Amino acid sequence: MAQQNLFIGSLAYATTDDGLRAHFEQIGPVASARVITDRESGRSKGFGFVEYENDDDNQKAVDQLNGKELDGRTINVSLARPKEDRPSNGGGNNGGGSFRQRSW
């Protein structure tokens, strides 16, 4: 079975991977912690993911850290949804801001 990730929202732009890891290690050993950054600017997008070594720590983290403060911001902690469950962003060839070829 795949490890379950936690989604961490409302992160301060100053929060780093190491800071995120340290905050969540108060619950248990963290396998990975990453703040998602913009590909071009390198700036934090304000959310990240944490994966515990023990899946039992996921619910403890949601219960104990959701609504708590990290780097001056109140964070949201929830179980991450699998990629296939996320809604589409409207991209592709059916509109949604994609390039439309001229018919001439």
CATH of the domain at 51: 3.30.70.330
* Segments forming the whole domain that contains residue 10: 5-80
Look at residue 53 and tell me if it is in a domain: yes
Per the model's pLDDT, the better-predicted residue between 33 and 88 turns out to be 33
Look at residue 18 and tell me if it is in a domain: yes
Query: What is the average pLDDT value for the chain, to the nearest integer?
Result: 88
Arithmetic mean of pLDDT, 66-70? 98
pLDDT at residue 62, rounded to an integer: 97
Look at residue 99 and tell me if it is in a domain: no
Arithmetic mean of pLDDT, 41-54? 96
Backbone angles phi, psi at 36, to 5 degrees: -80, 130
Total domains, the chain: 1
Look at residue 39 and tell me if it is in a domain: yes
- In Å, how far from its chain's centre is CA 37? 10
Look at residue 33 and tell me if it is in a domain: yes
pLDDT above 90 covers a percentage of the chain that reads 73
| pLDDT tens digits, 74-99 | 999 999 988 776 566 655 555 555 55
Look at residue 13 and tell me if it is in a domain: yes
